[in-house]
Amino acid sequence: MVCIVPIGRIPRGFVGGASFGKAPVNAVSVVVNAEQIRTKPLDLFKEAKSAVDLTQAPLIVAIGRGIKAPENIPQAEALAKALGGEIAASRPICDEGWLPMERQIGSSGQTVAPKLYLALGISGAIQHVVGMKGARTIVAINKDANAPIFEIADYGVVGDIFEIMPALTEALEKPRARSNTWAHGLAYTLRITMKLEDYKTILYRQEDGSWVAEIPAIPGCYALMDTREAALAELTKVFSMITDEYREKGLKLPADTTEIVNA
């Protein structure tokens, strides 16, 4: 029902807002089609879930392109859980939708400064580095010995993350090895290294800034240099010298049985 008052006509009985009679009422039928209604109802309001605040995490396990596929992320998540830390990622991982954007570290993500930052398969682009360079201790694991991430890492492991992640997780989940402190996690990480040529090689930076490259399975096979590149190059020379020495004496090099040791 719609009441229509003719334009320009004041109904009799309305004077100064007071009613002294009845105004004429005209009844008109109105039909409105659904297509004519421009206002559309929206979804019911839902409160957004609270975002993850990685700035408060004491330990972060971050993944990069080296994780290769979303199906491999649970391995990194299991490691983060075993260490008592949070999972995070570089921008390409979040851009692909493999992890939510709230997990991104870098110039367009969160800036963090945990006690330990474990970078798995992260090359070390400047956009990512600006978001994590404030970490107290940075451990980088990458198959590429020349990855830029090693320039800022306190400890670098040249190896395959798909061999390191499950081995490290398994060690941390052992009853006697379990610990809630990042220090134990770091100790285990330094002991799990992967093959460089025929032997596992460990590469790390000391407090004075010098770099050490070492093959734990061969006594005396290590190098101490100012840069990681020089340390690796020198280690190659040392390895060659030791190999020649063993060959001259008719001895065989010890087999590489490097295993995880209890921290």
Reduced to 3 states, what is the DSSP secondary structure of residue 91?
helix
List pLDDT tens digits, range 235-249.
888 888 887 787 777
B/e letters for 69-79, b = 16+ CB within 10 Å, e = fewer, are eeebbebbbbb
Gap between the Cα atoms of 187 and 125, Å rounded: 26
Residues of the chain with pLDDT under 50: 47-48, 176-184, 187-196, 259-263
**Confidence (pLDDT) at 132:** 95
Task: Please spell the DSSP secondary structure of 139-155, one letter per residue.
Answer: EEEES-TT-THHHH-SE
**Confidence (pLDDT) at 4:** 54
Gap between the Cα atoms of 118 and 94, Å rounded: 18
pTM of the full predicted structure?
Answer: 0.56
Cβ 160 vs Cβ 247: under 8 Å: no
Domain boundaries, the chain: 54-192
**Confidence (pLDDT) at 251:** 73
Q: What angle do CA 129, 134, 139 make, to 5 degrees?
A: 70
Distances (CA, A) of 178 to 97, 174, 249: 32, 6, 44
Bridge partners for 212 per DSSP: 204, 224
Cβ 25 vs Cβ 1: under 8 Å: no
Helix-then-strand count for the chain, H and E: 7, 12
Reduced to 3 states, what is the DSSP secondary structure of residue 205?
strand
Question: HSE (CB half, 13 Å, CA atoms) of 57?
Answer: 25
Cβ 137 vs Cβ 144: under 8 Å: no
Q: Closest Cα to residue 184, out of 87, 260, 76, 75?
A: 260
Gap between the Cα atoms of 228 and 39, Å rounded: 65
CB-CB neighbours of 18 under 10 Å: 7
List pLDDT tens digits, range 197-229.
567 778 888 888 888 888 888 888 888 988 888
Q: What share of residues in the chain are helix, strand, coil (percent, to 5)?
A: 30, 20, 50
State which CATH number among 1.10.10.10, 3.40.50.1220, 3.65.10.10, 3.40.640.10 fits the domain covering 54-192. Answer: 3.40.50.1220
